[in-house]
Amino acid sequence: MLNLIPLLLAVGAMVAAIRQMPDLAEDTFIIARYATHVANGDGYVWNIGEPPSDGVTELLPMLLAAGLIRLGLDPRTALVAIATVATVCVTIIVSRRVPGSSRPPSPGAWLLAILVPYCSSLPILSAMGYGTATYCLLLVAGGAVAGRLIERFRWHEAAGLGLVMFLAGAARPEGVLIGGTLVVGLLAVARRPVLTSFLHGVCFAAPLAIYLWVRFRYFGDVFPNTYYVKRGAEWLNLATLSDLGDYWSSTIAPFALLILLGVGFADRIARRTLALIFVVFVVVQYAFLVRFEFIMNWYDRFEQPVLVMAMFSAGMALDVLYARISETAHLPVRARRGLAAGIAAVMAAYPVLWTVRHALTRDPNVQDKTVREDREIAEKLRDYADRGYTMLVSEAGLVPFVSEWRHIDPYGLTDGAIARHGLTFARMESEAPEIVMYHAPAYMTGVHQKKDWFPGWLRMTRTLREFVERADYDFVGVVPRNGSAESGEHYYVKRSCPDSDAFKSVIAPYVLSGASIDPPQRQNHQNRNNLPDQP
């Protein structure tokens, strides 16, 4: 009966998260558009009838969603259902099995399993449609199997580990790094190292090679567009390094400390298991993130797999400590269980407080208003989807998906040429989009450009603004995001488009009164006087 409690709490966390989120996240609408095209037989394409373009980092969740859409589910339900099942399964695996030990988990490890849905962002990310939980599920399954292979050798488990890590690589590119690193790690700590590493390596590398070959034939590249878009200009991204340091010290560090404490008291098998999982699944994966800009890192989603694996390892460490206390201290059973649970509670205090603070600082009324307004604009623009118009908008998710327009992503997430070579005037002139929109600081009188935005994004917005200033476009206004004048969607409409007045009337009711594209001394747009009256 007690084993049902983590399951029920995980389901409860998911229900609360789904009720809190009004819609998919901006990024996951990109997944929804791809999945819809795949489900309808149009291919892995962004715009129907055009060459394939891989703008999805989370490929496996997208393909699973496409299958559910094919069966009749709507895209949001499909994505959220997959993520919900994965979140619950992560909790079940952590609560039922601690790797490297034949004993049932200690009360402390069981408590950590409860904390997975409440100290991580998995439920809220799953409610937003992200595939983070699917990737975490494969990592946890891989960690559990790796722990068993250190304890004893079984050929089907070694082969299965390779397949699991291949699927992890299909869920997120980091999974390929983890699977490859495990080949070396198992050589050092497995029960039968050479055979275990060989079976894992073959069953991991063989499907991976086929997968990469298919990707190259289909897309012309083995990397998704997101790799080229989000990688930093330097190998060591100092801004990301600072963010990673803050997150480690505030959230990961308590679990890392507990893991190191467990290593000190563990026997040989448990020590090897802890070391393997901590180094490969936590440290190596965390170090990999330094290469990329943390743009669109909603609810710390890039760090969540590391946090979950740190919790997973900490559960084993607690099991080790509990067993050592049971063997050496003559304490009543209740006292021993209370001590183990107390250690878990102390170590989890930081992430618990962080989660509570994060929940209290979210203003659903403000954030939901942004989603609602973007959807209303997109639904009105959908009436013109069959006229062959093109939109060039940086928010590549909700508006393109709902409006069903042909869309060019100026940031390059869904456009291979832009991802690799950047946004050019020649490309924009050849596309001649009817609507241009970019997300940038909403300049008010006397407010100058912010300096703390991501460099790649700032370059894109400057290029777009220079293009519309030179070309045939009217500035419609700034639609604020999250209720702040500091951030907004800058809309422009092609002046020569036959439906330009209709587009302006769709957008104008949502613009921020008094917003301009720049401080007054640089304004050269007189066409604002031609806009329809706002209500």
Q: Is 58 helix (H, G, I), strand (E, B) or coil?
A: coil
Domain ranges of the chain: 4-361, 364-530
Judge whether 129 and 339 are in contact, CB under 8 Å: no
Residue-level pLDDT at 350: 56
pTM of the predicted model as reported, rounded to 2 decimal places: 0.87
Estimate to the nearest angstrom the gap between the alpha carbon of 318 and the chain centroid.
29
Calpha distance 182→190 (Å, rounded): 10
Between strands 390-393 and 435-440, the pairing is: parallel
Judge whether 50 and 408 are in contact, CB under 8 Å: no
Q: Is 132 helix (H, G, I), strand (E, B) or coil?
A: helix
Q: Residue for token digits 């170590």?
A: 347
Calpha distance 212→180 (Å, rounded): 14
The structure tokens listed for 312 are 């997973």
Q: pLDDT 10s digit of each residue in the chain, 535 long?
A: 556 777 787 888 888 888 888 789 888 999 999 999 999 999 999 999 999 988 888 999 999 999 999 999 999 999 999 999 999 999 888 876 544 444 555 666 666 777 788 778 899 899 999 999 999 999 999 999 998 899 889 999 999 999 999 999 999 999 999 999 999 999 998 888 999 999 999 999 999 999 999 999 999 888 888 888 877 555 566 667 777 888 888 788 888 988 898 888 888 888 999 999 999 999 999 888 887 777 777 788 889 999 999 988 888 888 787 777 777 766 676 776 676 666 666 656 655 665 555 555 555 544 567 788 899 999 999 999 999 999 999 988 899 999 999 999 999 999 989 988 889 999 999 999 999 999 886 543 333 344 455 777 888 888 999 999 989 899 998 888 766 666 788 999 999 999 999 999 999 999 876 555 443 333 333 333 333 332 2
Judge whether 156 and 43 are in contact, CB under 8 Å: no
Sign of the alpha-carbon torsion through 29, 32, 38, 39: negative
- Half-sphere CA count of 77, side-chain side, radius 13 A: 8
The structure tokens listed for 133 are 């939980």
Candidates 384, 383, 377, 380; CA nearest to 393 is 377
Calpha distance 220→49 (Å, rounded): 17
Cβ-based burial of 502 (10 A; exposed 0-12, middle 13-18, buried ≥19): middle
Residue 157: count of CB within 10 angstroms of its CB = 18
Tell me, what amino acid is at 87?
A: T
